[in-house]
């Protein structure tokens, strides 16, 4: 018997490779593979400087640059060879080192924390945890779109302060992974106002901490004037002294329509506290591992030292890929535009097709008439059946599970198995055992991975806890694989016996059944 193909729905691969950008990158890299190309922002190396200028020009056009500047300075950029992951990990390392230095300097006992709306990209929970930074989750209201509101942010801050934590960062992705939502200017400014007030509060605390420390230190005599003394020390001004918003914008450009994500760094008065992560990975260059970090020059200077110690510099191929993707010059700009239009069009349709198979086409107001016709025709073509049969199948979806996302960007759906909670199923691994309860991530993994050869990211990986019955699935795969995924989900659901929902009977009805 042939082994069944594993459907890995957890992968963050975009649907199409950006081949023309890759060809340019490999051609440039092949010129001098035997040489080190130290970056230093292209000082003395015009080809490397061209990369920096391309990235700077792109983000200047996006409105990301410091106040009183007309563009993004090159010393506000750090280019990475390990994608946004390398940039994120170095930012976390930078923050914890600053906290440790401050604790040692003034004999403080600061306990750093990072605010993180959930569900989130689970891999980015590892670095804070490994460095001793507490994660303070902010649970999204998925029923209303999942955007974080001011009152929810304030409540999370108060919770952190009640546990004597010092918030050093706020992480989120925009456009969002896994929801595919877009944080616009109004929401971004609302959150930024909270952080500006919080940073003013922290400054007062740091001033008080300095005064208390100075009381324990002898005065220092001035070398310039006899009899003049001054107090030692200075107020904390490192990167962790103010909350840094870490804006992961790796899905920037993957929006389906004209609505674009708005970055914290686009707010002039907040720019110095914003760190922006970006890169071309999700646009079809995942294997090139190019990443961009944008921040104020002081933060970037410290990040550059960490990056050099970590990895010297990105490969020449990676740098050329960054140039090809970000350059506003021709032919790069036209080729990028054409590639993204095609990919975003296909991502959107694949997402609609998956949702129609799971939820049923009648439940989808976001699908236009042309979308509905194409979805039915696609199903009929793959299954080699008539349009009437395709319409009948797509009218009902899969009972017991539901896609709860309506993405505006990217290529993920969240699928909710909550309706099946409390049911029972026969474990595919242990057919001789009694029926097992379907109540947590373990049972979800059991029935999908073991039973149907489906790999996916579950809610616990996204920060939701082990009792979550959510799973994240990519739709950046061939349409026939999306259909196969839906059919395997239907088989998995068929093995779950729902918990009985017995109607509550009145006392009179109970008495009648007893003959009273």
Region of residue 104 (phi > 0: left; psi between -120 and 50: alpha; otherwise: beta):
alpha
* Whether residue 503 has pLDDT greater than 80: no
Coil vs helix vs strand at 142: helix
How far apart CA 277 and CA 295 sit, in angstroms, is 9
Name the DSSP class of 283.
Answer: G
Report pLDDT for 433.
Answer: 62
CA 378 to chain centre: 31
Q: Distances in Å between the alpha carbon of 182 and those of 254, 276, 351, 406, 433?
A: 11, 15, 16, 11, 46
Rounded to the nearest 5 degrees, what angle is found at the Cα of 476, between the Cα atoms of 471 and 477?
100
Report pLDDT for 227.
Answer: 67
3-state secondary structure 457-493: EECCCCCCCCCCCEEEEECCCCHHHHHHHHHHHHHHH
Q: pLDDT tens digits, residue range 181-240?
A: 999 999 999 999 999 999 999 999 999 999 999 999 888 877 766 667 778 889 999 999
The larger pLDDT score, comparing residue 217 to residue 94, is at 94
Q: pLDDT tens digits, residue range 341-362?
A: 999 999 999 999 999 999 999 9
- 216-251: buried (b, 16+ CB within 10 Å) or exposed (e) per residue? eeeeeeeeeeeeeeeeeeeebebbbbbbbbbbbbbb
* Whether residue 2 has pLDDT greater than 90: no
* Whether residue 511 has pLDDT greater than 50: no
* Whether residue 137 has pLDDT greater than 80: yes
CA 359 to chain centre: 25
Q: pLDDT tens digits, residue range 257-311?
A: 999 999 999 999 999 999 999 999 999 999 999 999 999 999 999 999 999 888 8
3-state secondary structure 290-302: CEEEECCHHHHHH
Q: For residue 173, which phi and psi values (nearest 5 degrees)?
A: -110, 145
Strands (E), 125-213: 134-139, 166-173
Report pLDDT for 514.
Answer: 40
CA 300 to chain centre: 22
* Whether residue 504 has pLDDT greater than 60: no
How far apart CA 248 and CA 264 sit, in angstroms, is 11
How far apart CA 195 and CA 186 sit, in angstroms, is 15
Q: Which residue has the tokens 């090809």?
A: 324
Region of residue 163 (phi > 0: left; psi between -120 and 50: alpha; otherwise: beta):
alpha
Report pLDDT for 1.
Answer: 39
Report pLDDT for 241.
Answer: 98
Report pLDDT for 38.
Answer: 73
Judge contact between 232 and 217, C-beta under 8 A: yes
Average of pLDDT values for 81-88? 96
Compute the mean pLDDT over every residue in the chain, rounded to the nearest whole number.
Answer: 93
How far apart CA 154 and CA 191 sit, in angstroms, is 9
Q: For residue 329, which phi and psi values (nearest 5 degrees)?
A: -85, 160
Classify residue 254 by burial, with Cβ atoms within 10 Å: 0-12, 13-18, 19+: buried
User: Whole-model pTM?
Assistant: 0.92
How far apart CA 442 and CA 453 sit, in angstroms, is 15
Q: pLDDT tens digits, residue range 431-457?
A: 556 788 999 999 999 999 988 999 999
Q: How confident is the model at residue 143 (pLDDT cuts 50, 70, 90)?
A: confident
How far apart CA 83 and CA 89 sit, in angstroms, is 10
Name the DSSP class of 50.
Answer: H
Report pLDDT for 3.
Answer: 66
How far apart CA 356 and CA 334 sit, in angstroms, is 33
Element (H, E) at 127: helix 126-131
Closest-CA residue to 292 (of 119, 131, 476, 91): 91
Average of pLDDT values for 361-374? 98
* Whether residue 513 has pLDDT greater than 50: no
CB-hemisphere CA count at 13 Å for 333?
A: 9
Judge contact between 256 and 344, C-beta under 8 A: yes
Classify residue 384 by burial, with Cβ atoms within 10 Å: 0-12, 13-18, 19+: exposed
Report pLDDT for 170.
Answer: 99
How far apart CA 57 and CA 64 sit, in angstroms, is 10
* Whether residue 500 has pLDDT greater than 70: no
Report pLDDT for 33.
Answer: 85
Report pLDDT for 225.
Answer: 67
Judge contact between 328 and 14, C-beta under 8 A: no
Domains of the chain by range and CATH?
A: 26-327 (3.40.640.10), 338-495 (3.90.1150)
């Amino acid at each position: 018997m042939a082994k069944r193909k594993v459907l890995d729905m957890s992968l963050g691969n975009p649907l199409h490779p950006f081949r023309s950008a890759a060809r340019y990158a490999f051609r440039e890299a092949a010129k001098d593979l035997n040489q080190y190309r130290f970056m230093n922002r292209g000082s003395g190396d015009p080809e490397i400087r061209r990369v920096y200028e391309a990235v700077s020009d792109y983000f200047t056009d996006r409105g990301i640059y410091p106040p009183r500047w007309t563009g993004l300075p090159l010393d506000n950029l750090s280019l990475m060879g390990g994608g946004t992951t390398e940039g994120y990990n170095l930012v976390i390392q930078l923050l914890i080192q600053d906290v440790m230095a401050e604790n040692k300097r003034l004999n403080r006992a600061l306990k750093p924390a990072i605010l993180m709306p959930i569900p989130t990209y689970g891999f980015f929970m590892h670095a804070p945890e490994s460095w001793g930074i507490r994660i303070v989750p902010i649970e999204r209201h998925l029923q209303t779109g999942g955007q974080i509101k001011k009152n929810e942010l304030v409540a999370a801050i108060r919770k952190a302060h009640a546990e004597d934590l010092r918030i050093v960062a706020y992480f989120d992705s925009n456009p969002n992974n896994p929801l595919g939502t877009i944080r616009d200017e109004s929401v971004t400014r609302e959150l930024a106002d909270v952080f500006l007030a919080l940073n003013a509060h922290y400054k007062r605390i740091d001033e008080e901490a300095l005064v208390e420390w100075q009381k324990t230190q002898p005065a220092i005599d001035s070398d310039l004037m006899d009899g003049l003394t001054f107090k030692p020390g200075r107020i904390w001004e490192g990167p962790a002294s103010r909350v840094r918003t870490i804006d992961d914008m790796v899905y920037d450009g993957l929006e389906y329509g004209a609505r674009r994500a708005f970055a914290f760094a686009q707010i002039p008065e907040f720019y110095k506290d914003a760190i922006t992560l970006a890169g071309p990975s999700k646009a079809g260059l995942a294997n090139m591992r190019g990443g961009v970090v944008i921040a104020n020059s002081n933060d970037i200077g410290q990040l550059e030292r960490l990056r050099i110690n970590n990895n010297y510099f990105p490969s020449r191929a990676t740098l050329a890929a960054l140039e090809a993707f970000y350059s506003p010059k021709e032919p790069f700009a036209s080729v990028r535009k054409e590639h993204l239009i095609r990919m975003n069009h296909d991502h959107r349709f694949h997402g609609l097709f998956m949702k129609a198979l799971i939820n049923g086409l009648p439940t989808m107001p976001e699908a236009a008439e042309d979308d509905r016709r194409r979805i039915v025709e696609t199903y009929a073509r793959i299954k080699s059946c008539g349009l009437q049969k395709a319409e009948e199948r797509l009218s009902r979806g899969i009972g017991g599970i539901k896609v709860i996302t309506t993405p505006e960007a990217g290529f993920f759906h969240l699928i909710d198995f909550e309706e099946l909670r409390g049911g029972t199923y026969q474990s595919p691994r242990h057919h001789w055992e009694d029926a097992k309860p379907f109540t947590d991530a373990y049972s979800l993994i059991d029935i999908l991975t073991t039973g149907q050869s489906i790999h996916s990211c579950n809610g616990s990986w996204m920060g939701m806890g082990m009792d979550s019955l959510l799973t994240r699935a990519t739709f950046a795969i061939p349409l026939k694989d999306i259909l196969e995924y839906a059919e395997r989900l239907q088989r998995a659901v068929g093995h779950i016996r729902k918990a009985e929902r017995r109607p509550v009977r009145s006392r009179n009805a109970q008495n009648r059944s007893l003959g009273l």
